[in-house]
Structure 1
Amino acid sequence: MARKDDLICVGALSGAYGVRGEVRLKSFCAEPEAIADYAPLLSEDGRQTYTLRLTGQVKNGLTGRLGGVSTKEQADALKGTRLYAPRDRLPGLPDDEYYHTDLIGLEVLDTGGGLLGKVTAVHNHGATDLLEVRGAGLRDSVLLPFTLAHVPTVDLGAGRIIADPPEGLFPDPDDKGKTA
C-alpha cells in the first residue's frame, strides 16, 4: 500500500452520470484527460483501487466508467470520493511548479524572516492559486495569491515559503494598539 505522502490527488468523483453506472468526475490535472493515464487510481487511504475509462465530457468535468461500478446507486455512493495516483506515476514538474500537496504544511515567512503562518490548503477559483495561511497571530485564515510577485521563494527542502504579501493582507504586529 502506498504511503499517504506518496499519493497525489488527481481528481474527485461528483456523482452518477446516467443510470448505467457512469460517473462524473473533476480532474485536477493540467490536461484533464490525463487523469486516465494515471489509473488505476486509489482512495485517500490507498486501500481501494479504481480502474478508469473516460467516456466523455460534461460542463466542468468528465464522465467515465470505474471498474466494479455498474449502477447509478453505486456511482452516487462514491460522490465526493477523491482519487489519488502514486507520485511516481506522475510527470516531473518544472522548477516553478508544485503539486498542491507539497505546499500544504509549509511555513510562510515574510521577506524579513517573520513567521506569518502555515499553508493549510490551496484553492483555485479561476484566476490564480491561493494559499490559505493560518497562524497564531491570525484571527482568520488569509488567502495569499500564489504568484511570483507575492511568493518569490518556495523551498520544499527547508519546508518554507518566503512571501511578499500585498500591503494590509496580514496584520502588522507593530500596529498593536495604534489608532489612526
Structure 2
Amino acid sequence: MSSPASGVFKASSPPDDAVELGRIQDAWGIKGWVRILPHSADTSALLASYEWFLQPPEARFARGFSAFAGCVAINVLEVKAHSEGLVAQLDGVSDRNSAEALKGVRIYLPRSAFPATPEGEYYWVDLLGLDVVNREGVHLGVVRDLVATGPTSVLVLEYTDTVDGAEQIAERMIPFVAAYIDDVDKAQRRITADWQTDY
C-alpha cells in the first residue's frame, strides 16, 4: 500500500491549545480525498483552516498504521461539507491508496484558530468542564457533553448524588436554550441556569 508523498507531513508539536475536532474515516473517491467524521455538528473551524495537525489513530485502531509517527502538520488544499460530515483534499495525498493509509487519523486545531462566534453562540469545546449553577447559586453539575436533539442542543451535566447514604455519580440534562440558560461566563468557567435540582 502506498503512503502519502514523502515530505508532505511536517513533524510538529501539537499546539498548547490543541482541540481534537474529528478523525479521518476513510478514502473518498479515487483522487486522494478523505472523508472526515467531525466530533461536533459545528464544523466551521475545520472548514476555515488551511493547516491541520494530525496524530496517529488511537492504539486500538492503529494496527498496521505506518503513514507517520507522532504529531504532524499538513496543508489542506480543499475541504467541504458532504452528507453528514466533511471531505477534504490534503497536500500530497493524491490517490485512493494514500488516502486509505490515513484511516483513523485524529485531526486537531489550535483553539486560537477557531473563527469568532456571534454574540450568544459558543463552541461546544468551550462549554465542556464549566460548572453550572442555578439562580439560587446551587451547584447543578459540570458539563461533560453536549447532545444535539434536532434544532437544539442539550447540556449533559455530571454531579455527585447521595442515594441511601452512598455517593454516586449521576447525570442531569438541561436544554441549551435562552429559556433556561441565563449566562455563560467563560472567564469564570460558569454557566447560570434557570433550573432546579428536582427537574
**Aligned ranges for residues 160-175 of structure 1 at < 5 Å?**
160-165=190-195, 170-171=197-198
Pick the aligned partner of 1:135 from 159, 162, 172: 159
Report the Cα distance in structure 1 between the residues aligned to 2:99 and 2:111, rounded to whole angstroms.
26
Residue 105 of structure 1 aligns with which residue?
129
TM-score (norm 2): 0.67
Give the CA deviation at 1:10.
Answer: 4.7
- % identical aligned pairs: 30
Equivalent residue, structure 2, for 1:144: 174
Tell whether 2:114 aligns with 1:114: no
Provide TM-score, normalisation by structure 1.
0.73
- Tell me, in whole angstroms, the C-alpha distance in 2 between the residues paired with 1:37 and 1:29: 15
Contact 1:56–1:63, Cα closer than 8 Å, also in 2 = yes
1:42–1:85 contact (8 Å) kept in structure 2: yes
Could you say which structure has the higher strand fraction?
A: 2
Q: Does 1:24 align with 2:54?
A: no
CA distance in 1: counterparts of 2:198 and 2:193, whole angstroms: 14
Task: Say if 2:141 and 2:172, in contact at 8 Å, map to a contact too.
Answer: no
CA deviation profile, 1:119-138 (whole Å, cap 9, x unmatched): 01223243112211111127
RCO higher in structure (CA 8 A, sep ≥6): 2
Matches within 5 A, 1:1-180: 1-4=13-16, 6-26=17-37, 35-43=46-54, 47-54=71-78, 58-137=82-161, 140-165=170-195, 170-171=197-198
Contact 1:50 1:67 in 2 (8 A): yes
Distance 1:3 1:97, change over 3 A: same
Structure 1, unmatched stretches of 5+, are: 173-180
TM-fit CA distance, 1:141:
2.4
Give the superposed CA RMSD.
3.1
In terms of fraction of residues, the more helix-rich structure is: 1
Count matched residues.
167
Following superposition, the deviation at residue 86 of structure 1 comes to: 2.1
Contact kept? 2:48, 2:115, Cα under 8 Å: no
